[in-house]
Amino acid sequence: MKAIQVISVTLLCVLAANAQVLKPGKCPQPAVQQNFDPTRYIGKWYEIQKLNNIFQRGECGTAEYHLKGPTVVGVLNSELIADGTISTATGTAQVVDPSEPAKLEVWFFENQPAGPYWVLSSDYNHSLVYGCRDYGAFYSEYTWILYREPVMPEETLEELHSILTSIGGSVDKLLTTNHDEVYCRPMFE
């Protein structure tokens, strides 16, 4: 038991040091988008807001999705790092259960799932994505708000915030992604 406590405290410190959103208890199980169609989700998305996490440190974030199979989506995430270089991550998202196609599991490294990618709400122009990982007595949550353009209408953003609030999500900790045309230019050259 003592080893579990030491591991939990160590993990808690690592996550806290990286400004992850960490909460007591187990991951919530929110409802996902009904009748989700992965084929309509393909294409380019701009990251509008996100919860801080240890694997994204840049700005101008985009995600590009393409179908690799009926329940498999190829993923290319890109962001501009402070030194002016572009960082990319290539992965795969797999529908876990065909009866709930809005629940995907993402892999960026072979045989090592990065985590759940649950589409809570999407009209295929905007998307609210939620993920969560249990760590014993705590859980860490991930959230992305995506849009097909670099700027999202305020009323759409408020609607997605409302959905996130309804599941106990951390709207107050969302970070807005910089998509300034001049700053992000290296992403589009």
For residue 22, the model assigns a pLDDT of: 85
Longest dimension (CA), the chain: 54
Mark the ranges of the chain whose per-residue pLDDT is less than 50: 1, 5-19
Distance CA(109)–CA(16), nearest Å, equals 24
Set out the domains of the chain in order of their start, with CATH numbers: 2-188 (2.40.128.20)
Q: Taking the model in full, what pTM does it have?
A: 0.86
For residue 55, the model assigns a pLDDT of: 76
Residue 33: strand, helix, or coil: coil
Phi and psi dihedrals of 169, rounded to 5?
A: -70, 160
Angle among Cα 22, 28, 29 to the nearest 5 degrees reads 145
Distance CA(60)–CA(47), nearest Å, equals 7
Distance CA(139)–CA(174), nearest Å, equals 17
> In this structure, are strands 174-176 and 43-51 parallel, antiparallel, or unpaired?
antiparallel
pLDDT digits (tens, 9 = 90+) for 146-177: 999 999 999 999 999 999 999 999 899 999 99
